[in-house]
Structure 1
C-alpha cells in the first residue's frame, strides 16, 4: 500500500511539473514561442523549383537552430528578374518572417526598401507554414503547404475588406541535390 501511495504522489508531482517525467526531459525540451517550433519545418529545407510560362523560380531553404533562411530567384529568358530574401527568427514573443525583394542586380530593394516586410508566423508544422502580415502588411498572407516530400505549394494573398484582391500560387518540385 505504501508503494502505491508513493507512485500516486510521484505521478501527481510529475503532472504538476514539480518532477521531470524523464531525467533528461528538460535537456531535450525545445523552447517554443506561441507554440511555434521551427524544427517542424524541416520538410521545407532544400532546393525547390517552380515554372510558369517563361518564368522559373528557384528557392533554397536552410534551417540552423531557430533561424530559417529562404532565398528565391525568378529567372526569365535566362536572366534574373527578381531576388527575394526571407528570414524567420524570433522577435520579442513571436516568430516573424521578414522579407525583402530586390531587382535583378540586387543593388537596391524594390519592396521593403527602408525595412523588411514583416509577417507573423502563426502555424509551423509538418503540413504548413502560415504567416500573416502585421503593420503595413496587414491583410497579406504567405502560405507554404507540404504536399509530399517532393512537392509543395507557395501562396501569396492580399485581402482587403474581407475580399481577396490579389493572389499568386506556385507549385514547387524538389530539386535533386
Structure 2
C-alpha cells in the first residue's frame, strides 16, 4: 500500500508541478510511395509552459493540453482557421484528451485539487463534464469503440493494461508493466501497447479486445516509448531530434527518416498522424530558443499589418513562405496621400536568410538605382524575434508585432525607429 501511494504521489507531481517547456508542432506530411517529407512547419501551441499530448479529432482538428493559469486544460485547435478553443473550465488539470467515438465529446484524465485522478467525459455540445469511471486510476487511455476503453492503470510502482466495458461496468486486467503509448492499429481490430521488460528493453505488442490475444510486433527504440501508426501500417518513433520509421512487415529495423534539427526542435516525445496521413503533430522543445535560418521559422510574420509611424499610417502585407522567399509591400500614408512604397523580400540564400528592399515614390519611381537593393543580413532567429542587421521583427502576440529599423540621419547618427503593427 505504501509503494502504491508513493507511485501515485510521484505521478501526480509530474502532472501538476514543474514541467518542461514543451510545444506542439504541426507539419504537412507526404508519406506516399514510401516517401517521408515534412513541410509547412508551425508551432501551434506557441505558449510558455507545458503543451503536450496531441491527438486528432479528425483531419482538420487537433486536441492537446496547454498551460493556462498554472494548470493544464484542453485545447481544440482548428487547422484551417489557425484558431484555438479552450474546451474545459474545471478546477482540476486535464491530460490525454481523446475524441470519443460517435459522439461530440472528449475523454480526458482529470487531476483534481483534492488529489483524485479520474477519467472524465467532456460534452462539446452542452459543456457538461461527467465521470466515466472512478474505480481505476487511469494514466492513459484509448477507445476501442464507444463502449470499450483500453487503459494504462496505475498500480504499485508500475502501470497495467486494463480493458473496461462501460455497458457492464466490468474492468479486466490484461497484463502488467506497460507504457503510456496506446493506439488503434490501422485497418484492424487491434490495439497496440508498449510492454516493458525486466531487462530495461520494451516491445510494441498488439492486443485483441475480442479474444484477449497478445502478439509481439517489434522492439522499440532504446529508452523510447512514444509511437504512432501511419495509415499504411508503418510505425513512427522519435528520439532527440530524429524521427524513425519501422515497417513491421519487413525485418529491416528502425530507419532514420527525418531530422527536426533544422527547425531548432529537440527532445521529441509524443507524436501523432492525422487519419488521412497528411498531417503530423509532434511534441518537442525549442533548442536554446534559437531557431534555424528557415522561412518556416518566421512564418508568423505573414499577414496584413497596420500601424502608425512618421506621423502617418503604415501598412505591410507579408506573404506566406513559398518558392524559397516571403514578399511584402509597404506604404506610408500622410493626410490621405501615399508618401512612398517599399517592396521587401526575405529569401533563403546559402543556409541563411537575407532581407532586401527597394523604395518607390508615390508615382512608383524607384529611389535606388536599377540593380541596387538595401540588404539586411540575418543575425539570429528566436521563438519570438527575428534579428536582421539593421532591422528586428518582434512577436508580441499572434496579432501584434513590433519592427525596429535603424535609420541613418543626415548628421551620421543611427536612429532606431519602432513600428507597432496589429493585424
Structure 2 spans left out of the alignment, 5+ residues: 1-196, 204-220, 223-237, 247-255, 264-290
User: Does structure 2 conserve the Cα–Cα contact (< 8 Å) formed by 1:124 and 1:130?
Assistant: yes
Aligned equivalents of 1:158, 1:62: Cα separation in 2: 25
TM-score (norm 2): 0.32
Aligned to 2:133: none
Of residues 40, 56, 75, the one that matches 2:297 is 40
Deviation of residue 70 (structure 1)? 1.6
User: Does structure 2 conserve the Cα–Cα contact (< 8 Å) formed by 1:38 and 1:124?
Assistant: no
1:154 aligns with 2:403: yes
Of residues 118, 122, 126, the one that matches 2:375 is 118
Deviation of residue 68 (structure 1)? 1.3
Matched ranges for 1:1-150 at <5 A: 21-23=243-245, 26=257, 35-52=292-309, 54-65=311-322, 66-108=324-366, 110-111=367-368, 113-132=370-389, 141-150=390-399
User: Does structure 1 conserve the Cα–Cα contact (< 8 Å) formed by 2:318 and 2:326?
Assistant: yes
> The residue matched to 1:39 in structure 2 has which SS?
helix
Aligned to 2:44: none
Aligned equivalents of 1:56, 1:106: Cα separation in 2: 18
Q: Provide the alpha-carbon RMSD of the alignment.
A: 3.6
- Going by fraction, where is helix more abundant, 1 or 2? 1
Q: Which has the higher contact order (CA 8 A, sep 6+)?
A: 1
Aligned equivalents of 2:370, 2:261: Cα separation in 1: 34
Deviation of residue 47 (structure 1)? 0.6
Q: Cα distance 1:26–1:98, how it changes in 2: closer, same or farther (>3 A)? A: farther
Q: Cα distance 1:79–1:61, how it changes in 2: closer, same or farther (>3 A)? A: same
Deviation of residue 61 (structure 1)? 0.6
Q: Cα distance 1:53–1:114, how it changes in 2: closer, same or farther (>3 A)? A: closer
User: Does structure 2 conserve the Cα–Cα contact (< 8 Å) formed by 1:70 and 1:85?
Assistant: yes
Q: Cα distance 1:89–1:50, how it changes in 2: closer, same or farther (>3 A)? A: same
Q: Alpha-carbon deviations, 1:44-74, whole Å to 9, x = none?
A: 1111111247410001111233311121111
User: Does structure 2 conserve the Cα–Cα contact (< 8 Å) formed by 1:101 and 1:112?
Assistant: no
Q: Cα distance 1:35–1:41, how it changes in 2: closer, same or farther (>3 A)? A: closer
Deviation of residue 150 (structure 1)? 2.0
User: Does structure 1 conserve the Cα–Cα contact (< 8 Å) formed by 2:294 and 2:353?
Assistant: no
TM-score (norm 1): 0.70
Structure 1 spans left out of the alignment, 5+ residues: 133-140
Q: Is 49-58 or 145-154 further displaced after alignment?
A: 49-58
User: Does structure 1 conserve the Cα–Cα contact (< 8 Å) formed by 2:295 and 2:321?
Assistant: no
> The residue matched to 2:244 in structure 1 has which SS?
coil
Q: Cα distance 1:74–1:26, how it changes in 2: closer, same or farther (>3 A)? A: farther
> The residue matched to 2:257 in structure 1 has which SS?
helix
Q: Is 36-45 or 110-119 further displaced after alignment?
A: 110-119
User: Does structure 2 conserve the Cα–Cα contact (< 8 Å) formed by 1:98 and 1:119?
Assistant: yes
Aligned equivalents of 1:29, 1:94: Cα separation in 2: 17
User: Does structure 1 conserve the Cα–Cα contact (< 8 Å) formed by 2:295 and 2:348?
Assistant: no
Deviation of residue 4 (structure 1)? 6.7
Q: Greater CA radius of gyration, 1 or 2?
A: 2
Q: Alpha-carbon deviations, 1:114-149, whole Å to 9, x = none?
A: 3211111222343011111xxxxxxxx100101112
